[in-house]
Chain A
């Protein structure tokens, strides 16, 4: 294992901003794994820390195959994590909207550029990332519909779902999108949580990366019998929306099965505890996502279902 500083920026009064990477093996740049890019992505750092430990063990046991290099970067944004702010401390920009970066540009463009120079050129790129809405997810792999990351390859992670995301204009500056522009097959891994550590979810994330690396012949590891992942276009998911704002009372959990007409959640009047709205399932489906904050706004897709 080789621990080294990937990128560094001097602070005025703070310690230097450092992006630290862990390298394993030598040879072809096979896979790069990136953890948090936002200040609240704690689970994402934690998943990477488990991988750092696991790869150290695999390396010591000679189970990283000859000719493969693996790079893990647990966080590309420790500055934001340390002050518990989602985006860049000074100007609130999102590093994951700055790729491929620009070395003569603004601070987060420079960080994106400095990091991207180190993490591009890999055959596969895996990013642990988060959704901007607070909620519990079914763990899944996300790929973009433009580009050449294939659903069948994404299935090698062994997670229950592969989501194909229709590219929106603002996606074009994300790491996932730009990896693909520069010939890296990119996969975004969504684990169960963001701001809290979920042991089971992170364990599953680590195993899924192991499954993938074993399938690609990068590590020696006996992959268990995997279920075939369900491939879903994000535009085909059924969103259940609130029409009222209020207290959100979920009646189901992510991963559960629901039937048509089943009550999924109540919205309560926050002063009078009356149920002002009940959300019902429009279809027979699995619960893919559920909002997990106590309050909700109107018009919010608090539940997403896959058929």
Chain B
């Protein structure tokens, strides 16, 4: 059943509505668990759209196996999604810096508060992001170390390749995930794929993971696939950041997800005006290239990739 969770009138003959679809078992019981699938906080990240679609298709095919509540929130920032805008258009604000919001605040804070109110109390929330338009990511879950104990066991069931436990940061306290995690509703932040595109393989992988989680939570009685055992990184030194030494056109040479040897070529920063190579980007250590630059134009400092060191990956 589609429901509007919060709405506000816009100046010229339009209403902004944030909607969810609630799927319930045909014969609901009194004490059901609830999973919420959230995406579209960043309007230019679309990987989660496919997951919302695909997950519901599969649930409806075997509806008899559903034994809990599934809430699907595909568009937390509807104006952004419909206008190819990452933030909230007109406000030029990153929606993921507005939480927990404020019912008495401005329009964006009001919407954020409505979202938190509706999602709060879920037994598990999956907040699906798709990196941004610059970088492609392997399916991963990012966890603030403050919430590690509760979230890592859930994340292990979600069929991702990588769990990245990162340090706490004040700036991140205004994210959707932090707001809910710090008030007792567990949220797993998934990052996968790339902005403005759909990567079906990743979407299907996560859908399998969500079914597995639902089964473990008692929301799904049907068969599920065996999930991947993710690499977990807790040490900041496990990850190497590759920032551009100069501006130019980045042309990748390595495959995303490749297990690289130290010194192997990842890509070149080039100067199309003179036809020259400005810098060769090489792996500083053995490891897995879990992030790679997608958008070719780089400034000095732009991130071109991230490597998870071989020791942390645990492969031979």
Which residues of A are in contact with B by a Cβ distance under 8 Å? Answer: 9-13, 86-87, 90-92, 97, 104-110, 132-133, 168-170, 172-173, 241, 244-247, 270-271, 295-301
Question: Cβ of B1 < 8 Å from any Cβ of A?
Answer: no
- How far does the alpha carbon of A92 sit from the alpha carbon of B84 in the complex, in Å? 14
Q: A270 contacts which chain B residues (CB < 8 A)?
A: 11-13
Given A90-B299, A107-B299, A300-B107, 5 extra CB contacts under 8 A: A87-B92, A106-B303, A169-B170, A241-B104, A297-B11
Question: Cβ of B223 < 8 Å from any Cβ of A?
Answer: no
Q: A244 contacts which chain B residues (CB < 8 A)?
A: 9
Please determine whether A170 and B297 come into contact, CB atoms closer than 8 angstroms. no
Please determine whether B11 and A105 come into contact, CB atoms closer than 8 angstroms. no
Please determine whether B170 and A172 come into contact, CB atoms closer than 8 angstroms. yes
Number of interface residues of B (CB under 8 A): 40
Please determine whether A132 and B9 come into contact, CB atoms closer than 8 angstroms. no
Q: B132 contacts which chain A residues (CB < 8 A)?
A: 91
Between A and B, 15 residue pairs with Cβ closer than 8 Å are A10-B246, A11-B247, A12-B247, A86-B92, A92-B87, A106-B303, A107-B299, A107-B302, A245-B8, A245-B10, A271-B12, A271-B13, A297-B107, A299-B105, A301-B106
A110 and B301 contact, Cβ closer than 8 Å, known pairs A11-B247, A132-B93: yes
Please determine whether B8 and A9 come into contact, CB atoms closer than 8 angstroms. no
Q: B299 contacts which chain A residues (CB < 8 A)?
A: 9, 11-12, 90, 107
Please determine whether B300 and A297 come into contact, CB atoms closer than 8 angstroms. no
| Residue from B11, B87, B132, B241 whose CB has the most chain A CB atoms within 10 Å | B11
| Residue from A87, A92, A108 whose CB has the most chain B CB atoms within 10 Å | A92
Q: A87 contacts which chain B residues (CB < 8 A)?
A: 92
A106 and B301 contact, Cβ closer than 8 Å, known pairs A132-B93, A169-B170, A271-B13: yes
A300 and B170 contact, Cβ closer than 8 Å, known pairs A9-B300, A246-B11: no
Within 8 A of A (CB), among B55-91: 86-87, 90-91
Please determine whether B106 and A296 come into contact, CB atoms closer than 8 angstroms. no
Within 8 A of A (CB), among B211-246: 241, 243, 246
Within 8 A of A (CB), among B157-214: 170-174
Distance between B239 CB and nearest chain A CB, rounded to angstroms: 13
Q: B249 contacts which chain A residues (CB < 8 A)?
A: 12
Distance between A245 CB and nearest chain B CB, rounded to angstroms: 4
Question: Cβ of B248 < 8 Å from any Cβ of A?
Answer: yes
Please determine whether B105 and A90 come into contact, CB atoms closer than 8 angstroms. no
> Quick one: which of B91, B105, B109, B297 contacts A12, CB cutoff 8 A?
B297
Please determine whether A299 and B11 come into contact, CB atoms closer than 8 angstroms. no
* Contact digits for B269-308, partner A, Cβ 8 Å, 1 yes 0 no: 0010100000000000000000000000101111100000
Please determine whether B13 and A110 come into contact, CB atoms closer than 8 angstroms. no
